[in-house]
Structure 1
Amino acid sequence: MALDAEGALNRTLMETLYSVSVILSRALDVKQAPHEILRVLEESAGLTRGMISVLDPESGELVVNAVQGIEPEDFEPVRYQSGEGVLGLILEEGKTLALPAVSSEPRFLNRLGIYERRLPFVAAPIHVGGALQGVLAVQPNRLDDGLLPVRARFVEMVANLIGQSVKLSLDVAEEKKNIAEERDTLRRTVRAQHGFDNIVGHSMGMRKIFEQIRMVSKWNTTVLIRGETGTGKELIANAIHYNSPRARGPYVRLNCASLPENLLESELFGHEKGAFTGAVAQRRGRFEMADGGTIFLDEIGEISPAFQAKLLRVLQEGELERVGGGRTLKVDVRVIAATHRDLEDAVDAGKFREDLYFRLNVMPIKLPALRERLEDVPEIGRHLLVRIGQMQGRALNLTEAALTRLTQYTWPGNVRELENCLERAAVMSESGHIDADLIRIDRQREVAGGAMSSAASRIDLEDPSLDERTRVIAALEQAGWVQAKAARLLNMTPRQIAYRILTLGIEVKQF
């Protein structure tokens, strides 16, 4: 009979242990679990009057944290010092204690007044990472039946589970803290990299730009950044986002000219599984990723009229549907767009929707070309040289003669061309000292003062009599051998024109 009773008790305790493990697996924060664990111990295993005490790291005392059937606000805080009472004894020795009856231990204090003196009592230490951090105490609901050691081992097992859960909770909390600290550090770094200090210039035109950025950054207004290629439109967009109330939110960027229309829709709006060949899983689009933050749409003037209508709905209503889906999704996104094109001409020509133009052109910011602010060239040159020097791991400097040489050129490729010129000069300098002789500027571009040769400018790229190689070379000449510009002239993507250059054996001119 005794063996049958022990077997039945073991089965009950194992089922209870499983229930306790389920409770602990659901809650990484062990503070949520104590009352539920104590309830299961009472209802499933007959271990009543459960109590969990935790160690106060400041005082070193055990503090009663949870009592079965009693809400925390219904009892006064109870503490036990090391060696004080039965719980204090466990705190001192770190060993499980099993009493056949409470009355058999004169040191039992029963400060809460909930334990029956004639019933057994079991208390086990809760260890976290090898250190005692608490005590689990229970009272079987029947007189000692000779199976107290079985119940004591079970209580130890539950205490060990609690300890492991507490350790996991502490590890998760520490990891969250480390991630939060790393995130904040990265945010500070990114803000410093993309703040106003990264936009250089003191000319009248740039002072106006700075003021516009400061004013518009405070609000969620849609911004349209205008300017030639290489004037730094992305820098302006970065500064607006990282100095706005949305700086803690996501910042998502996309160059609209880099993708064909069918991929652009999927990239911006996402797609459902099976929406098209290759859509093996559901995918969120850039607008969903930017929810609560900012999306920067570069080269917005390159999108087709058909896609403009789809984009307009998102800007007007804040709603979109994934490709292949029928569910309408709401998004809260601030839009910053940029283009080098004359959108007014595009509207007049019917190539750009007027309603989309007005939706985008809420706060226009027009960036001056570098030739319009040559007084900023020395300051920009020094700023770029510091960045190039950091990449090369050495100090670089420009002589006055080199600075004079830089200010004598009109820079049709704007800041991007200036940066390329300086990087080329840095590569050619053994000492890091850059004089005028290392400032190499293409003579043809310098004489022409623009981005195209006169011969190339006379070629009609739409002429059907042109062979493909001649057409591509003419487009490259007209674009100053900037492949992205040439691709737009030919209504190609940068990837397509790069493929044509490779297959046609065209030697790319370097400036």
Structure 2
Amino acid sequence: MVASTFDSNSTETPRGSALSAKAQRRRAARQTDRLALDAVYEIARSFSAAPDPIEVLPEILNVLSSFLDLRHGVLALLSEPGPDTKGRVNPYVIAATAFVRTETAPPADVLPDAVARIVFRSGVPLVAFDLAEEFGPEAVPERLRGQGQTLIAVPVRDPEQSHFVLGVLAAYRSHDDLRAGLSDLDVRVLTMVASLLEQALRFRRRIARDRERALNDTRRLLQTASEQRGGGATPVSVDGIVGDSAAIGDVIAQVKRVAVTKTPVLLRGESGTGKELFARAVHTGSPRHDGPFIRVNCAALSETLLESELFGHEKGAFTGANTLKKGRFEMADGGTLFLDEIGEISPSFQTKLLRVLQEGEFERVGGSRTMKVDVRIVAATNRDLEDAVAKGDFRADLYFRICVVPIVLPPLRDRKSDIRPLAQLFLDRFNKSNGTHVRFAPDAFEKICKCQFPGNVRELENCVNRAAALSDGEIVLGRELACEQGSCLSSELWRLQDGSSLIGGLSSGRMVAPMARQAAPTSPPATPEPPLVRRKTANTAREELIAALEEAGWVQAKAARLLGMTPRQIAYALQKHGIEIRKI
């Protein structure tokens, strides 16, 4: 009995130890899940009680650190373009961190620029199991160097347009952490936090929209009451220009003041802001309103054709000149000449143009008789002429000749209250020209009024005409708009432009939008970032997948970078094609 008891105990002890180890692992897993649930609960409470979700983000990131050891959390958000973003494309800012940082510190000090760029453009979570190995040691923030770090980054999407990524939420986990291998749980938790942030932002936007609507209604009521009493100033307006915003009111007031003079005017602004319409307003409000208004697009003609168009030519001046032709300067005598896109003329032609602007004299091409004209010049450009003068691409004396009274036309995104009346005007024009009776539903107007319209008024007109033409009935619903059907490329072009392919004419060169290209580092990264144009999915061909794995030495993370994929996509593609990983 003793021996039997001893044998029984000796065989049961290892089994008990094995069960104990399994129980401990299950208990640790349950504890981790419980901590994650508690963290999400605390974060949801913080968001629900906060008037501004961005302000409480540092507290949220500290909760992640306390409950789950996800340290050094950071939130990056796309920033609005402005003068401080000159030379940068798709700028983003660090909106919140779990630690104190100086405002002048570059964003790359807390979030690698390569990681931010991938998440912004791909819109999928990214896990860098070894940040230094996958993106180079320079990608590791200086405060975290000297120990292995796993970076988890998830996208924060626009609450109104789920396909548009407006931010990146990221956190780090040290390789010394006991949870260093639980990246799936980390991704799930950060994704839930990002979703809670999106919901909080949506609620905040709705409140702001309701407040703006109430203020606009109050403003209209006060204006109506003032007009009925006969008090208040007469609103400034110009025929053909729609809008009652403060930005457009200032421009109209400038146009009215300068129109009565002979001073040259330079209209500046992004493409699509209606520069020709304002040029006509200057002519209509001037004493020359009975004279001709002549328009020339300087960017549409070569230097030789432009000279012939502006100055005219004599019969036989060149091959094909069978008759005498008057130039635009002659045709505009006693009126106004509108030189559109004047920043595009060549340096050699600038000299010829300068003389007629200074003296009012010129000769036709092939002629010797000096012609004298009395023309008022209104020019327009979307280029940064000051930068062109500094680089020697535009003559300084010509710049000072045309830029006597510069008038800057505001982009449509700075005159939000004008979007609805403009959209209604374009819809009325569409109905009149096509014999239709299309109307916009309230939700369609709301969605249109929230758009940024990088192409300004011209893009708004195209958007309205497209929606009206493709509508199934007489009422255009919000879901029928191009942006809701994923067929509006404007925002994507505006967001995904890079420094070598700016969208020509959308801005003066200083106004760029959503996603940043940081200054180049002083030393190149150890592992160069693959071009995103090669981005693949799990449907990548088996041969291409194997070739990338062989090139990467069968390291999945490196193969993912070569194909522009995430490690998770690589793992799924390997499973789909039945490829076994070789060990070298």
With the length of structure 1 as denominator, give the TM-score of the two structures.
0.50
Question: Which residue is 2:480 aligned to?
Answer: 438
Q: Secondary structure at the match of 2:348?
A: helix
Tell me which of 325, 328, 339 is aligned to 2:370.
Answer: 328
Q: Secondary structure of the residue that 2:323 maps to in structure 1?
A: coil
What amino acid sits opposite 2:283 in the alignment? H
Write out aligned runs for 1:251-262 (5 A).
251-262=293-304
C-alpha contact 2:264 2:377 (8 A) present in aligned 1: yes
In the alignment, structure 1 residue 353 sits paired with structure 2 residue 377: no
Quick one: distance in 2 between partners of 1:411 and 1:346? 27
- Give 1:432 shift: 3.0
Tell me, what secondary structure is at the counterpart of 1:457?
coil
Are the counterparts in 2 of residues 299 and 337 from structure 1 also a CA contact under 8 Å?
yes
Cα shift at 1:242: 1.8
Q: Which of 417, 422, 433 does residue 380 from structure 1 map onto?
A: 422
Query: Match for 2:384 among 318, 339, 342?
Result: 342
Q: Does 1 or 2 have the higher relative contact order (CA < 8 Å, sep 6+)?
A: 2
Provide the residue aligned with 1:16 in structure 2: none
Percent sequence identity over aligned pairs: 52
Alignment of 1:16-415 (within 5 A): 196-415=238-457
Pair 448,438 (structure 1): closer, same or farther in 2 beyond 3 Å: closer
Rounded to whole Å, the distance in 2 between the matches of 1:278 and 1:442 is 52
Deviation digits for residues 22-62 of structure 1 (CA, Å, limit 9, x no counterpart): xxxxxxxxxxxxxxxxxxxxxxxxxxxxxxxxxxxxxxxxx
1:371–1:443 distance in 2 versus 1, CA, 3 Å: farther
Distance 1:210 1:427, change over 3 A: same
Unaligned stretches of 5+ residues in structure 1: 1-194, 461-474, 486-511
Q: Name the SS of the counterpart of 1:441 in structure 2.
A: helix
Distance in 2 between residues matched to 1:453 and 1:206, nearest whole Å: 26
Which of these two proteins has the greater Rg computed from alpha carbons? Answer: 1
Distance in 2, Cα, partners of 1:448 & 1:335: 33
- Say if 2:457 is the partner of 1:457: no
Contact 1:445 1:452 in 2 (8 A): no
Judge conservation of contact 1:409–1:446 (CA < 8 Å) in 2.
no
Which amino acid in the other structure matches residue 457 of structure 1? D
Q: Deviations over 1:159-193 (max 9, x none)?
A: xxxxxxxxxxxxxxxxxxxxxxxxxxxxxxxxxxx
Instruction: Give SS of 2:406's match.
Output: strand
CA separation in 1, counterparts of 2:485 and 2:473?
A: 26
Give the CA deviation at 1:397: 2.4
Distance 2:389 2:487 in 1: 32
User: SS of the residue aligned with 1:279?
Assistant: coil
Q: How far apart, CA to CA, are the structure 2 residues paired with 1:295 and 1:450?
A: 37
Change over 3 Å in CA distance of 1:424–1:223 after alignment to 2: same
Structure 1 SS opposite 2:415 = helix
Call closer, same or farther: CA 1:344–1:425 in 2, change over 3 Å. Answer: same
Alignment partners' CA distance in 1, 2:436 and 2:489? 34
- Give the superposition deviation at 1:236: 0.4
| 1:297-321 alpha-carbon deviations (Å, 9 max, x no partner) | 1000000111111111111111111
CA displacement at 1:266 relative to structure 2? 0.4
Superposed displacement of residue 389, structure 1: 1.5
**8 Å CA contact 1:412, 1:450 repeated in 2:** no
Normalising by structure 2, what TM-score?
0.44
SS in 1 for 2:399: helix
Letter in 1 for 2:426: L
Please tell me the residue identity of whatever aligns with 1:295: L
> Structure 1 residue aligned with 2:466, among 420, 424, 439?
424
Over 3 Å counting, the alpha-carbon distance change for 1:380 and 1:303 in structure 2 is same
Mapped partners of 1:355, 1:439: distance in 2:
48
* 8 Å CA contact retained: 1:395, 1:432: yes
How far has the Cα of 1:277 moved from its partner?
A: 1.1
- Cα deviation, residue 367, structure 1: 0.6
Deviation readout 1:311-347 (Å, 9 max, x if unpaired): 1111111111111111110001111111010111111
Q: Tell me if the contact between 2:271 and 2:505 (Cα under 8 Å) persists in the aligned partners.
A: no
Deviations 1:54-79 (A, max 9, x none): xxxxxxxxxxxxxxxxxxxxxxxxxx
Post-superposition offset of 1:267? 0.5
Seen in structure 2, the aligned counterparts of structure 1 residues 424 and 226 have a Cα distance that, compared at 3 Å, is same
Q: CA RMSD in A?
A: 2.4
How many positions carry a matched residue from both structures? Answer: 271
1:220–1:481 CA distance, 2 compared to 1 (3 A) = closer
Give the superposition deviation at 1:430.
4.5
1-structure distance, mates of 2:472, 2:243: 29
